[in-house]
Structure 1
Amino acid sequence: MTSLLGSKGTENLNESSAMIENQSRQRREAEIAFDKTKSPRNARDRAFDDIDAKRIAGEEKTARLREARLSRQATHKASHMAKPALKNAKRR
């Protein structure tokens, strides 16, 4: 059979293996290039995650402080409401 293929058959096999090798090299280069573009995106995502975490922590702190302030104001208002009633009772 090799006599039927002759030198052209061998050339075709060499070309095929060279093409496969070239495609493999191109694929590796493409994957490396893709990984390089993917890395900054991951860094970007980490930066946004950090910003979001800080924003959420700030919102939670604001909510805690608001609750404490409202509680303090309610206590203060209740104590002031009770004092005038005592003052009026003393005057009579």
Structure 2
Amino acid sequence: METTEAEPLARRLERFMRRNFPQIEMHGGTAGIDAIDEETGQVWLTLAGACSGCGISPLTIQALEARLVTEFDEIREVHTATGDGFDDRSGRPDLSDVPF
């Protein structure tokens, strides 16, 4: 199936992550979309399961952030959390308990 711009961004993101980051699931982790703000181009993701506390999760986070901004014109910024809250490098608050 060919991707079109009419397809919802969330669906395109999910498919992209499954195809390009299969190692997340292969290693017992999960990656989920928490929220998308299409007006500002921001996306919030959570890595869970084996990703929480994994020594290489910072590398996975860097790769996700770089690839999503590069691959999707409508994404300008990616916020990624693990089981410990949002990445401390960003200085952003933990929004995991905020109902989006």
Higher relative contact order (CA 8 A, sep 6+): 2
- TM tier relative to shorter chain: under 0.3
More strand by share: 2
TM-score with structure 2 length normalisation? 0.19
